[in-house]
Amino acid sequence: MANADISENVSSIVNIGFDMIMGPTMRWKRDINPSPVSLDYDQFAMATYLAFKGGNEGGPRPQAIVYDGFSVVGLTRGMDLICLFLKNTKALSHMASLKAMAENVAIEMDDNCHDEATTAGDDDGIDHEEIKRIVLNMLRGKEHATPELRKCFELTNSGIWKIMSDLENDGLVKRAGKDGRAILWTLA
């Protein structure tokens, strides 16, 4: 089976990453060839991630899972899982070609995501006052670490530190201690 034949059997490629707060989340998806199977990839992300990456550390892990109407090939990339959604099972016998295809698309998509992140400034459409209001509500009776707050709002380190410094200077929040290297915040 040639590479062109293999790519015809791939309906989409999805990167499922792991967020410490939210768990498995879909980072990106690229449609290759439309599939007649309708699938909510966001809902499917957690089950797929756990199926391929869960279980015993040294135990066996699946390379592919066959469902009615489609199959999924999972390739690990650090904490991420690159999934190829196949229209049928014909291409499963060509795992090396599937792996090379997934790696090429993953590199291209990572480069695109990195380019978009570097061109977007820290203040690109971010309402700092709204974030400050939400942070104050989150800290009511609770403590949260800086990295946790940063991930909630998808901010850079400098972005969340600017917001927390402003709130601290206004006397609205205070440092409640440390969790490892991370600062814990609470209401003042």
Note the residue count of the chain. Answer: 188
70 and 47 in a single domain? The answer is yes
pLDDT computed for residue 121 by the predictor:
46
134 and 160 in a single domain? The answer is yes
DSSP strand pairing (80-86 vs 70-77): antiparallel
70 and 28 in a single domain? The answer is yes
pLDDT computed for residue 172 by the predictor:
92
Mean pLDDT of the chain, nearest integer: 80
Kindly list the distances between the CA atom of residue 86 and the CA atoms of 69, 110, 135, in Å, as whole numbers in the listed order.
Answer: 9, 22, 42
148 and 93 in a single domain? The answer is no
Tokens standing for residue 101: 């295809």
Sheet order of strands, 144-145 included:
144-145, 182-187, 173-179
Please tell me the total count of domains within the chain.
Answer: 2
Q: Global pTM?
A: 0.50
Tokens standing for residue 127: 């309402």
- Single out the residue in 119, 151, 173 at which a domain terminates: 119
169 and 106 in a single domain? The answer is no
18 and 100 in a single domain? The answer is yes
Residues spanned by the domain of 149? 128-187
- Single out the residue in 98, 119, 140 at which a domain terminates: 119
Measured in whole angstroms, how far is the alpha carbon of residue 138 from the centre of its chain? 23
36 and 58 in a single domain? The answer is yes
pLDDT computed for residue 107 by the predictor:
79
pLDDT computed for residue 174 by the predictor:
92
Give strand pairing partners of 187: 173
98 and 61 in a single domain? The answer is yes
Q: 98 and 2 in contact (C-beta within 8 Å)?
A: no
21 and 98 in a single domain? The answer is yes
Q: Return the CATH number at 100.
A: 3.30.450
37 and 100 in a single domain? The answer is yes
pLDDT digits (tens, 9 = 90+) for 143-153: 989 888 888 88
pLDDT digits (tens, 9 = 90+) for 2-57: 555 667 888 888 999 887 777 888 888 888 887 777 888 888 888 888 888 876 56
Angle between helices 157-169 and 128-138 (to 10 degrees): 70
pLDDT digits (tens, 9 = 90+) for 63-90: 888 887 788 988 888 778 999 888 876 6
- Single out the residue in 101, 119, 137 at which a domain terminates: 119
12 and 99 in a single domain? The answer is yes
pLDDT computed for residue 123 by the predictor:
47
Q: How far apart are CA 165 and CA 150, in angstroms?
A: 13
Q: How far apart are CA 9 and CA 34, in angstroms?
A: 10
Q: 92 and 85 in contact (C-beta within 8 Å)?
A: no
Tokens standing for residue 172: 């609205």
Largest CA distance in the chain: 66
pLDDT computed for residue 1 by the predictor:
47
132 and 89 in a single domain? The answer is no
Alpha helices in 65-127 (DSSP H): 95-119
> 8 or 125: whose pLDDT is higher?
8
Mean local confidence (pLDDT), 96-116: 74
Q: Return the CATH number at 164.
A: 1.10.10.10
